[in-house]
Amino acid sequence: MNNTLRENIDWVGVVDWNVRDFHSYDTHRGATYNAYLVRDEKTALIDTVKAPFVDQLLKNLAERTPLEKIDYVVCNHAEPDHSSGFPTVMRTLPHAKVICNAKCRETLSAYYDTSEWTFEEIGDGETLSLGNRTLQFINTPMVHWPESMFTYVPEEKILFSMDGFGQHLATSNRFDDEVSLCDVMDEAKTYYANIVVPYSRQVLKVLEKAAGLPIEMIAPSHGVIWRSYVSEILGEYRDWASGRLESKVVVLYDTMWGSTQKMAEAIYEGAGEIEGIDVEMVHARRSTLTRIATVMLDAAGVALGSSTLNTLMMPSMAGALNYLQGLRTNAKVAMSFGSYGWGRGAVEGLEPWVDEVGWERVVDSIKHKYVPTAETLAACREAGRTLGQKTVERAAETA
């Protein structure tokens, strides 16, 4: 296992093989909490780990340096998956100062008793010399929290990017070229779609700042370190943050006795007739919020369907829409559909939701009482075709 980024710059983090939830994010491949040790005339630890793993972090540190030689602990991000190890780390390292910005100090002090900690506050663009290497601090507010920042080492062209460019992926490998690129890009996209997307405007600003830096490695707080595919992940972030959409329709639905499912399938068939389009069916109750957010990220079109249950849409659809609304997923062209019995309500709930989030309804909603007839299914196929065509046009506008 190679944990070395450069001579005297090591990964000292931990792998959490068993975590399956990160505040509703389905971490089906586990996670890592990355921390890095930079040894020079002065020694700096960049970030800590989640509290249950702090003993492993201290062991990793002790194998590399006497703990009393660690001068600084940089906090790039105060969210507890990275900072909850801080209290133990600060009790154990006798001479370490915490290096962070003012907002981060405030946040750390809200979570932990920091009265015995020594802080050195730094501002955006400031530097700290370790001897032959320098730490340069770059504030990245709202990527992912208000206090977030990157730490850059210009002499090594390494960017320690905390959550940015991360992936929830437990692996014994440390680098992007040691794992399947397909897996790592898929997890990077999932991470963006579920954590970063609400802050895309801020991501674009951060990318602008980063464009001025020569970068050979991006070392995030989760997942593998980018060294062979740096320009690829920067390119993906640019696309995701700028809202580039694909010619893709997502048919997201839930069905009670199969009628709404029949309508979903007819819409799927109709959309699929449009050349160059990708159509994905997602049964909201059989999928996860994490997967739904990920397939939605770059889809230009969506068909939302639900049976009516107790005068409302199905609970799985309500949950999915609530999650997507919070994420402020990129605006799409849309339509709604669903079957009902003696009382309506589902489509009547889907339509205003589409309007509220600012998506564009480009096809009239289709509702059917009980089991859809051949005429209704033909109308669904036709609606699917129209939605597919509008989806291609919407994607082209964002290219």
Q: List C-alpha distances in Å: 126 to 136, 152, 241, 251.
A: 6, 11, 26, 48
Cβ closest to ligand FEO, residue 109 vs residue 398: 109
- Does 50 engage in binding with ligand FEO (CB under 6 A)? no
Interacting span for ligand FEO (CB under 6 A) from 74-82, 128-136, 338-346, 362-370: 74-82
Give Cα 272 to chain centroid, integer Å: 29
Interacting span for ligand FEO (CB under 6 A) from 79-87, 178-186, 254-262, 332-340: 79-87
Please say if 25 is a catalytic residue: no
Token pair recorded at residue 48: 């800590």
For residues 269 and 252, what is the distance between their CA atoms, to the nearest angstrom?
Answer: 14
For residues 51 and 82, what is the distance between their CA atoms, to the nearest angstrom?
Answer: 8
Q: Which residue from 29, 39, 77, 390 is in contact with ligand FEO, where contact means CB under 6 A? A: 77
- Does 163 engage in binding with ligand FEO (CB under 6 A)? yes
- Restricted to residues 205-244, the positions that interact with ligand FEO (CB under 6 A) are 221-222
- Residue 192 has φ and ψ, to the nearest 5°, of -60, -45
Q: In sequence order, which ranges of the chain are alpha helices (DSSP H)?
A: 54-62, 80-83, 86-92, 102-111, 181-191, 200-211, 230-242, 259-272, 289-297, 315-327, 346-356, 374-398
**Beta carbon of residue 144, minimum distance to ligand FEO (angstroms, whole number):** 4
Please say if 278 is a catalytic residue: no
Q: Which residue from 81, 156, 187, 246 is in contact with ligand FEO, where contact means CB under 6 A? A: 81
Please say if 163 is a catalytic residue: yes
For residues 249 and 321, what is the distance between their CA atoms, to the nearest angstrom?
Answer: 16
**Beta carbon of residue 374, minimum distance to ligand FEO (angstroms, whole number):** 51
**Beta carbon of residue 318, minimum distance to ligand FEO (angstroms, whole number):** 26
The footprint of ligand FEO on this chain (CB under 6 A) covers a number of residues equal to 8
Half-sphere exposure of 232 (CA within 13 A, CB side): 14
- Restricted to residues 352-391, the positions that interact with ligand FEO (CB under 6 A) are none
Token pair recorded at residue 273: 């007739």
Please say if 239 is a catalytic residue: no
- Does 79 engage in binding with ligand FEO (CB under 6 A)? yes
**Beta carbon of residue 25, minimum distance to ligand FEO (angstroms, whole number):** 10
Please say if 144 is a catalytic residue: yes
Cβ closest to ligand FEO, residue 79 vs residue 156: 79
Give the CB-nearest residue to ligand FEO.
79
Q: Is 65 exposed, middle or buried (0-12, 13-18, 19+ CB in 10 A)?
A: middle
Please say if 23 is a catalytic residue: yes
User: For residues 103 and 150, is the Cβ–Cβ distance under 8 A?
Assistant: no
Task: Give Cβ neighbours of residue 194 (< 8 Å, ≥ 6 apart).
Answer: 25, 289, 290, 293, 294, 327
User: For residues 267 and 301, is the Cβ–Cβ distance under 8 A?
Assistant: no
Cβ closest to ligand FEO, residue 137 vs residue 165: 165
**DSSP secondary structure, 75-96, as one string:** -S--SHHHHTTHHHHHHH-TTP
Q: Which of 16, 40, 199, 222 is catalytic?
A: 222
Please say if 368 is a catalytic residue: no
Q: Which of 33, 36, 40, 144 is catalytic?
A: 144
Q: Which of 71, 81, 147, 176 is catalytic?
A: 81
**Beta carbon of residue 166, minimum distance to ligand FEO (angstroms, whole number):** 7
Please say if 21 is a catalytic residue: no
Query: Within 10 A of 382 (CB to CB), how many other CB atoms are there?
Result: 15
Q: Which residue from 144, 227, 367, 381 is in contact with ligand FEO, where contact means CB under 6 A? A: 144
Cβ closest to ligand FEO, residue 164 vs residue 338: 164
Residues at the contact surface with ligand FEO, assessed by CB under 6 A: 77, 79, 81-82, 144, 163, 221-222
Catalytic residue positions, numbered: 23, 77, 79, 81, 144, 163, 191, 222
